Structure 1
């Protein structure tokens, strides 16, 4: 049980266009981490990525479609109730979202932009975006980098800056929100052709704060130093995610840093493995890889000492116990979720 005897819950997103059930709620076993499905909410196309409000009373989901929208839901016990109509984000293919300064931010992969949608006092969405920041640029990959493709947007740990990761332009943008408008402050270039997908911040330590960027087009992870005073990201090292050359497709996806900052976990689609890295200052050391428990792991999450993987093409969410010494995950079980794409927790 969570604090006060409240049952811990998980919320799972899926691709309805690929046969997914929409949004699901699940109970989380307090000792084994096992998931038990409770119910689902239909009506929103492709709710592929989710975020909970800090108090756990609201859930927000993108609709990863060509028209692009974001939707809000009240969390009522074990159920989700729509909180108004979905709001267009004035961008296509929103693939990630986060909360910042009274707004929902979406990263719109198709249009290569970041959108801010204001929140009302009760946590519901206002009727229209307050601002859209259009990315520009391209990369050397002929098919995947013809233009910008914003893949993730999130606030920095101190809550001042907005960081957006763009696979199409091989860069990370640092912005601020001014009167509801995302305003670009600086753009940090990563290696051409790397295809950055997601960034995860580590906890602040004696050497400062590190950020880890997982690169989709070349299976590597870039270690960066983050300066919260100036909003500056400095790339330091780049490390292969796999122990050898991939046998076929290898597209890294989710990245998670352990709460104590000792380990970094990365999922790779195609190879269908989870890589565990030990954090050693500004270096990452590959500890090992294990099977992801399914096929095409799209997203990772850590909760309660367990690691969870949304395996999109095998249609399941798997959970793993974590070895406290090595950080290596150990498969414990899974639950069937067709076209699973994301999982978040209310802890």
Structure 2
């Protein structure tokens, strides 16, 4: 690591933790840390408690704001972030659905787009000039027949909100319907432009784009696979091309896939397994993935992963292992080496500002 490595604007890290008995949780809310460029020095600055299940965090560097949805709840909350790491609440607003699990800001910064997992909808929430939120102005149901899993696919369950590279579309993997919905952003409305259909029972969960923009990698929770898909930006269509398992061939236990990360150079893809408690790594070869091995995640139930701001370290939130594990990425092979671990109670999301 060099002194000129990329840094987050304020050098802050936020860790959201599950808090409720329903989630078998031990967390207390959102923890705030001051971090060094190499993530070698984490200083705990404070915590926002009294907030149920801050299950996903998004930062807005332009406004100096932080947004969270509340797992199993029906609201999103906005904070303004001071340079010393203090979070000042800008209030909460209704998402128009239940169990809001993921969100993203639209390219203009005028709206927060929210996936309502339990109620099967995607909401458009206006963002005020001060960064605060208004209640959902549009709630768009995800249509289709549920998948075959009797408990996990009883209805639509949108699980992720990802902007296309050009910002014209929103991709929403739906675990309940085994589909990825592609939504068109038009002014202050969302509309369904197309959809990609995956294997019955796959349980589409999260998606990440290759930096080249022509490929996207979809992790399927229920059948523990990653599908490589072709993205056609002009038409707004996603076409599945190739599928690989996330589990080692000699693993026979219960496990579900969770998170997916692509390296900035586009050479490697990582997916986490909850149950097997490992990180699958893949090499990108043309329009498919080649399995390259598995690394222990450093704890139980690796729910979430993200790259550090330097782009060469991977952080893993082990929800039931109560830890944040840090790995360095070998630039030649993509192999992971665990370089650190710090205690965190029921961590489920990490964001930087």
Q: Deviations over 1:315-340 (max 9, x none)?
A: 11111111111111111111111110
Cα contact 1:15–1:46 (8 A) shared by 2: yes
TM-score (norm 1): 0.94
TM-score (norm 2): 0.92
Q: Which runs of 5+ in 2 are unaligned?
A: none
2:124 & 2:18 partners in 1: Cα distance? 23
Inter-CA distance 3–323: structure 2 relative to 1 (3 Å threshold): closer
Q: What residue in structure 2 maps to residue 182 of structure 1?
A: 190
1:185 & 1:287 partners in 2: Cα distance? 35
Q: Does 1:132 align with 2:135?
A: no
Inter-CA distance 40–108: structure 2 relative to 1 (3 Å threshold): same
SS at match of 2:160: strand
Cα contact 1:62–1:69 (8 A) shared by 2: yes
1:108 to partner: Cα distance: 1.1
Aligned to 1:64, which of 71, 78, 91?
A: 71
Inter-CA distance 97–33: structure 2 relative to 1 (3 Å threshold): farther
Aligned to 2:256, which of 251, 266, 286?
A: 251
Q: Does 1:279 align with 2:287?
A: no
1:297 & 1:77 partners in 2: Cα distance? 30
1:89 to partner: Cα distance: 0.5
Q: Which runs of 5+ in 1 are unaligned?
A: none
Q: What residue in structure 2 maps to residue 115 of structure 1?
A: 123
Q: Deviations over 1:185-242 (max 9, x none)?
A: 11211111111100001111xxx61000000110110000001111110100001112
1:261-300 aligned at under 5 Å gives the runs: 261-300=266-305
Cα contact 2:18–2:54 (8 A) shared by 1: yes
Cα RMSD for the two superposed structures: 1.8
Q: What residue in structure 1 maps to residue 219 of structure 2?
A: 214
Q: Deviations over 1:40-68 (max 9, x none)?
A: 111321101001114360110001124x1
Q: What residue in structure 2 maps to residue 195 of structure 1?
A: 203
Inter-CA distance 4–250: structure 2 relative to 1 (3 Å threshold): closer
1:29 to partner: Cα distance: 2.6
The count of residues paired between Structure 1 and Structure 2 equals: 341
2:8 & 2:342 partners in 1: Cα distance? 24
Aligned to 1:9, which of 2, 9, 12?
A: 12
